[in-house]
Structure 1
Amino acid sequence: MELAVRERLLAAETGPDVQALKNAYELMKSASDGQSALDSSDNISGDLYVLCAEQALQLGYLEISSDCLQMYFKGRFPVNQFLGRAYLCQGQLHAPRSTENLDDFEKFVLFFMKAIDFATHDRRYFFLIYNASVLYWQLVRPFLKPGFRYCLIPSLSQIVTALNQIEERDNEWRAELMINLLECFLDASQLEEAKVFSSTAAVFIKENVPDKYSQIFSLMVINGYGNSLHFLHVLNLGNKKIKTNVVKAEIGK
C-alpha cells in the first residue's frame, strides 16, 4: 500500500493531479481506520501523511490537509524532520487573511514557534528554521501596516534569535528581518527596546551587510526616536570590532 500511496502523491505533485491526491488520501484514510483490504500489518509511514498534507495544502484542499495532519499526530512515528514540517503545515492552515483574524494568527504563530523550537535542537533540522522564517514573512503581510506591527514582536523576535543562534549564512535575510523587527518596536512605541535592539542589529549589519546599515539609522532618526550620537557610538563599536579582528588575523599569520 505504501508504494501505491507514494506513486499517487508523486503524480499529484508532478501533475498537479487532484484525483491522484484524493486517491492517496483515501488509501491512507482506510489504513488509518483499519479498513484496508490489504494486510493489516501494511502500515503507512509517517512521512506520507505529512507529504499528503503539504500537497493538499498546495492544491487548496485544506480539509484533506488537516485530516492528514490529525492522522499523523495520532500515530507514533519517529521524531524526524517531518514533525517540524507537520507543525509548519498546521500553522499554514491557520494563516491569517486579515488583521481581524487574531485567533487564527495566534494558532499560526503557535505552530510555527513549535517548528522552530523543535528544529533548534538538532543541526540536521536547521533548514526548517530558515524555511519557517520565509513562510512566516510571506503570511504575516496583513500585519505589516501601522498599528498592527506590534503583533509581530514576540514571534519575529524568536525567529531573529533562532536565525542568530544557528548562525544562518544568509546574512541579507537576517538583516532584513532585523530591520523589520526594529520597525515593529517603533510602531509599538517601545523606544527603549528599539534602542537596545538597534545597537545589536547595527553592529551585525555593518559587519555583514553594510549596504543596509543606513536603513537603521534612517528609521531611528526619521521617527525621532534616535540621535546621531547613539549611532556614532554603535558605529565606533563596529569599527573597533572589525579592527580587532584584523589584528587577530595578522597575529595569526
Structure 2
Amino acid sequence: MDALIIVIVVVVLLVVILGIAAMSMYNGFIRSRNLIQESWRQIDVELNRRYELIPNLVETVRAYASHERNTLEDVTRLRNQAQSVASHESGLPTQQRSQAEEQLSGAVRNLIVSVEAYPDLKSNVNFLELQKQLAETEDRIAAGRRFYNANVRVYNTKVDSVPSNIIAGMAKFEKATYFEVNDPAVRRAPDVNFGEIAYRGEQPPASAPSAPQVGTGQSAPGGLPDPNQQWAPQQAPQQEWSQQPQPGGYVPPSTGQQGPGQQPPSQGGYTPPQSR
C-alpha cells in the first residue's frame, strides 16, 4: 500500500513538473511572438512614412528632370504596389511584402542616382530636404529590420528545437518570416582599391626611361637599382686613405690628395704632428 502511494506521488510530481515546463515553453512562445509583432510595427511605421515621402519626391524631380519619366513611373508604380500589399496584410509580413519593399527601395535609389545629372535639382531646397528625410527613414528601416530579424531567429529556433517543438506543434506556433533584403546592390560592399589610391598619380608612364645608374651600369629588372651593387659618387677625389670613421670615432677632414710628408691617421683617431 505504501509503495502504491509512493508511485502515485511520484507520478503526480512528474505530471506537475512537465505541466510547469510546458506552460513555461508556451509563455516563452507568446513573449517571442509579441516581441516580433512589436518590432514589426516599428518597421511598418517607417515604411508608411516612406509611402508619404515618395510622391513629394517624384513631383519635385518631375519639375526639373522630365526626361526621367520611366524612372519616375517605376517609383510610383512600385510605391502603389507595396502600399497595396501592406493594406491587405494583417500582423507579420509575408514574403510578398518583403519583395515589394525591396523593389521599391531599389527604385528609390536609382532615382536618387539619376538626379546627379541635374545640378539645378541637386541644389533645390525641397529636394535636399526630401532626400534627407528619405535617408533617415531608410536608416531607421534598416535598424528596425535587424532588430526584427534577430527576434524572428530566436522564435524560429524555439519552434525547431526539442522539446519546445512539441509545444509549438500542439499550440500551432508557425515559423515567422524574415524581412530580408536580397538586392545585390544593397548587400555588396563598396569597392575600395587601395593600390589605385596609393599609386594614383605617382606611377611613371610605362615608356619613361629609367634614370641613369652610377657604378657598373647594371640595374635590376624593371629599371630599379640593384641593391647588391656597389655605388661610388661621381667625380669623387681620389684619396690614398678612406674617410671612414676610425675606431676612435674621429673623422679627419677632407684634404684632397695626400701630399708629400703627410701621414694617415693612426689607430685611435690621433694624428701625430709632422716633424720638420
Same fold flag (TM > 0.5):
no
The structure with the largest helix share of the pair is 1
| Structure exhibiting the larger radius of gyration computed from Cα positions | 2
Which TM-score applies when normalising by structure 2? 0.20
